[in-house]
Amino acid sequence: MTALHPIFSLLGRILLSAIFIMGGFNKLMNPAGTAGYMKTSLVPLPNPELLVWGVIGLELLGGLAILFGVLSRSAALALAGFTLVAAVLFHWKPGDQVQHIMFMKNLAIAGGLMLLAANGPGRWGRG
C-alpha cells in the first residue's frame, strides 16, 4: 500500500477538487442565478449578490489549490468549513429525502477535506 500512497493521494485530490472547480465555474457563468438560490437559504444572508463572488473565488481557487497540491491543507480547511455551512443552510430539510442525501454528501466531502488537511497532499504536492 505504501507504494500506492502518492497515486491515491493525487487521485483523491483530483476527485475532491473536481466538485469545487466545476461548481465555482458554473457559478461564475451565472452569478445572478447563484445569488437567487442563496436567497432561499434558511438564514437571511447579507447581500448575496456580493457574497456569491466570495463563494466563486473560494470554490475555484480552493479547488485549484487542492488539485495542484499547493496550500492544499489551508484550502481543504476553508472548503471543509464552507461545505459544512452550505450543508446546514441549503440541505438541512428534515423529511426531504433528496436534501438528506445532499446533506450527507456534504458531510462526507467535508470529512475527506479534513483528512486532506490533517495528512497533507502527499508526495506530489507542496502542502
In this predicted structure, what is the pLDDT of residue 43? 66
The ranges of the chain with pLDDT < 50 are none
- Give the pLDDT of residue 1: 64
pLDDT at 52: 92
Residue with cell 468549513: 81
**In whole angstroms, how far apart are CA 74 and each of 27, 49, 54?**
22, 26, 16
Rounded CA separation 48/121 (Å): 32
